[in-house]
Amino acid sequence: MALSLAEGGGGSRLRRQLESGGFAAGEYVKQLSQQSDGDRDLQEHRQRIQALSEETAQSLKRNVYQNYRQFIETAREISYLESEMYQLSHILTEQKGIMEAVTQALLLQADRDDPALGARRAAAADPFLPLSAKDAAASEEGRQRTLTTLLEKVEGCRDLLPESPGKYLVYNGDLVEYDADHMAQIQRVHAFLMNDCLLVATALPSRRGAYRYDALYPLDGLAVVNVKDNPPMKDMFKLLMFPESRIFQAENAKIKKEWLEVLEETKRSRALSEKRRLEQEALPRPAPAPLESTNPFDEDEEEEEEDEPSAEEEVVDLSLEWIQELPEDLDVCIAQRDFEGAVDLLDKLNEYLADKPASQPVKELRAKVDERVRQLTDVLVFELSPDRSLRGGPRATRRAVSQLIRLGQSTKACELFLKNRAAAVQTAIRQLRIEGATLLYIHKLCHVFFTSLLETAREFETDFAGNNGCYSAFVVWARSSMRMFVDAFSKQVFDSKESLSTAAECVKVAKEHCKQLSEIGLDLTFIIHALLVKDIKGALQSYKDIIIEATKHRNSEEMWRKMNLMTPEALGKLREEMRSCGVGNFDQYTGDDCWVNLSYTVVAFTKQTMAFLEEALKLYFPELHMVLLESLVEIILVAVQHVDYSLRCEQDPEKKAFIRQNASFLYETVLPVVEKRFEEGVGKPAKQLQDLRNASRLMRVNPESTTSVV
């Protein structure tokens, strides 16, 4: 007790000494070496330090385990909070845009009512705007001149930007482009924001202040996303132009804010001007006054035309706010992976335009929307591609599949869904570790494959319930998947030369799992039979050859002597083996003590033949009927021919009587048991076995010959 207390006190002092801020390892070791009496003290001190180290490690491990769940919960809460903050920021941005749009609309209405007030307000808002209406044209010319001057510094953009009276420069500046995947710096660029597009140009190193054209993006298909600062990556924003995206870094936070604000404001102004243009086009135009005709017969025709009702073309109202913002809303939904929201907007538009005439504004709107539909389809196709993560099972694909079906792409959705599941099943099979017994691996393989197949079938039935034409594609896919399963199955069971009993058990397991598919009305048993028949035939013939070779070897050493099992236990064991083989009258062939009135060769042949028959019946299906029957006949012929030949060649009367007894056992006991068991397993009798049993002599041999026919 005192020793433990002393050790505890010493451990506390040692801990405090090691944890002190001014601890120096070299000085400590030097001092310890001087104070120690010998090697034993150093060893004990080393053990104390080692124990303290292990105790510290265990303490740290316990603390980590105790706080691990709290770390996970905290990370999950942070993720939820970040998502909610992002949604809140998006909502605030939308509210800000709505308020600015309403304010601008009210100001425009006030300007129409009082032009003088509008001019004064414009002059107060923009110090560079001239006060007089006379100078307005000069200001417009100045902005266009500035645009022309700047674009002269950009090589290769003159043909891409035709001169138009309404195009002018809004904002420009230097940016640094980064790789979207690895966040590595790519190049320095100069961006020119115009009222309808964004021009990106790269700097020419050989000419200061000169640039080369890189890309041009219309504002209608451009989405701006703020990138959260993650030092050292900061002051960045992303431009989304499906199917690509680019990340740019501003010089500082102020310039980044200016870029984000001016981009949003320019896009909003562009949308408002487009809305006003559509409103002007949607207004009914007065019909031109008809010219007076001097033909007196026209009066009668005009009277007839007046009697007929004039069908005026219906005007489609595209000035609704949700229609004007539909392309941008679709871009936002695609960028945020809100596929359901995008398809809901498309359904709403289709429902609104269902009974409307296809006027020119409607065609233009359809063209813009169709481009977004193609983008959405490409994103959904990528979601279902096998390159994506295959975890989550079939249900993970339901979202993309359902939206593709709603877009009228059910055939493509079916094809991609089945390709995704085929890749998932193949990956699951490849990840199985081949270890331990073959039967254990086959149990795992069947469980993984048939469970995946069943889950895929149920998910397919859920997703494509209203598309009956897709079910044939699923059946074709199931057949190809079954072929992949059989390849893995055969490689492990048949190519590795497993025993017939192991192969029979493995095939039995596969059949039992295959029957599970009947729960959903799918029977693939005939497919697995057709794919396995070649390998099973090879296994049966290989095992048949092994039995024939073993029988011939025993026949060559046959001395035609009775069996002496030496102990009653061995005799009892042989009785049980014969009873399990179906030989119920084996007791009549046993003699006194432990003698058996049969040859060792005949007994071994009986056990081996019945074992072959039992295992073969586990593998049986109709395509294997003749293969199994012919194999049995060949095996039996080897034995009966040897007995027949020995009976004719033997001269010793006692041995000849013993051979007749063995022949009687084969013909009257073994062959009927084989015939009965075959009929029970197959369901119909075999004429070849009946003929073999009924024949007293299977083959006549030259009596003078002393060689075996077999």
Higher pLDDT, 392 or 670: 670
Residues 169 and 271 in one domain: yes
Residue 294 forms part of a structural domain: no
The domain spanning residue 258 has which CATH number? 2.30.29.30
Domain boundary among 233, 264, 281: 281
**Residue 678 scores a pLDDT above 80:** yes
Strand-pair partners of 190: 174, 201
Count of domains observed in the chain: 4
Clarify whether residues 274 and 205 are in a common domain. yes
16 domain-assigned? no
586 in a structural domain: yes
**Residue 302: inside a domain:** no
Strands 197-203 and 185-194: antiparallel
Q: Do residues 586 and 437 both lie within one domain?
A: no
Q: What is the DSSP letter of 666?
A: I
pLDDT given for residue 142 in this prediction: 62
The pLDDT assigned to 285 comes to 56
pLDDT, one tens digit per residue, over 408-436 is 888 888 888 888 888 888 888 888 877 66
How high is the pLDDT of residue 83? Answer: 66
With cut-offs at 50, 70 and 90, classify the pLDDT of residue 212.
confident
Radius of gyration of the chain (CA): 46
Do 515 and 438 share a structural domain?
yes
Q: Which of 80-89, 336-345, 596-605 has the lowest mean pLDDT?
A: 80-89
- What percentage of the chain carries pLDDT values higher than 70? 82
Q: How many whole angstroms from its chain centre is CA 676?
A: 52
Question: Looking at 395-503, which runs of residues are DSSP E strands?
Answer: none
Same domain, 60 and 175: no
Please tell me whether residues 169 and 79 are part of one structural domain.
no
Which pLDDT value is given to residue 429? 84
- H helix runs in 127-213, sequence order: 136-151
CA 514 to chain centroid: 23
Range from 378-387, 473-482, 692-701 carrying the lowest mean pLDDT: 692-701
Q: Which of 222, 254, 281 is the last residue of a domain?
A: 281
What's the pTM? Answer: 0.49
- Tell whether 646 and 513 lie within a shared domain: no
Please give the Cα distance from 413 to 672 (Å, whole number): 60
Question: What is the C-alpha to C-alpha distance for residues 140 and 407, in angstroms, rounded to an integer?
Answer: 45
The domain boundary, picked from 532, 559, 594, lies at 532
Q: Which of these ranges, 61-75, 173-187, 234-248, 383-397, has the smallest mean pLDDT? A: 383-397
Can you tell me the distance from the alpha carbon of 529 to that of 482, in angstroms, rounded to the nearest whole number? 11
Q: What is the mean pLDDT of residues 297-309?
A: 46
Residue 314 lies inside a defined structural domain of this protein: no
pLDDT for 15 beyond 80: no
Check pLDDT > 70 for residue 111.
no
No. of H helices and E strands in the chain?
Answer: 23, 10
Looking up tokens 């007030």 gives 117
The token pair at 91 is 């909502």
- Residue 393 pLDDT more than 60? yes
Residue-wise pLDDT tens digits, 498-527: 788 888 888 888 888 888 887 777 788 888
Answer yes or no: is 108 within a domain: no
Answer yes or no: is 441 within a domain. Answer: yes
pLDDT band (50, 70, 90) for residue 255: very high
The pLDDT of residue 400 is: 85
**Taking residues 611-623, what's their average pLDDT?**
85
- Residue 393 sits in the same domain as residue 434: yes
How far apart CA 220 and CA 372 sit, in angstroms, is 11
Distance CA 199, CA 294 (A): 60
Q: What is the pLDDT of residue 250?
A: 92
Predicted pLDDT of residue 304: 46
What is the pLDDT at residue 126?
44
Residues 243 and 339 in one domain: no
Q: What domain range includes position 197?
A: 138-281
- The predicted pLDDT at position 703 comes to 38
The answer for residues whose C-beta is within 8 angstroms of residue 30's C-beta and 6 or more apart is none
How much is the average pLDDT of 431-448? Answer: 83
* pLDDT given at position 117: 56
Residues 349 and 469 in one domain: yes
Per DSSP (E only), the strands in 204-252 are 211-218, 223-226, 236-241, 244-249
Percent above pLDDT 90 for the chain? 3
For residue 248, the model assigns a pLDDT of: 92
In the structure, what pLDDT confidence band is assigned to residue 208 with cuts at 50, 70 and 90?
confident
Model confidence pLDDT, tens digit, residues 120-163: 554 444 443 433 444 445 555 666 667 777 777 788 776 666 55
User: What pLDDT is attached to residue 709?
Assistant: 37
What distance in Å separates the CA atoms of residue 685 and residue 678, rounded to the nearest whole number? 7
Closest by CA position to 247, among listed 186, 306, 172:
186
Same domain for 237 and 325, yes or no, is no
What pLDDT was estimated at residue 127?
40
The confidence score (pLDDT) of residue 134 equals 43
Among the residue ranges 185-189, 483-487, 574-578, 690-694, the one predicted with the least confidence is 690-694
Residues 648 and 515 in one domain: no
Q: Is 175 a residue whose pLDDT tops 90?
A: yes
pLDDT at 673: 86
Average pLDDT over residues 574-593: 80
* Residue 109 domain flag: no
Segment 213-222, tens digit of pLDDT: 888 888 887 8
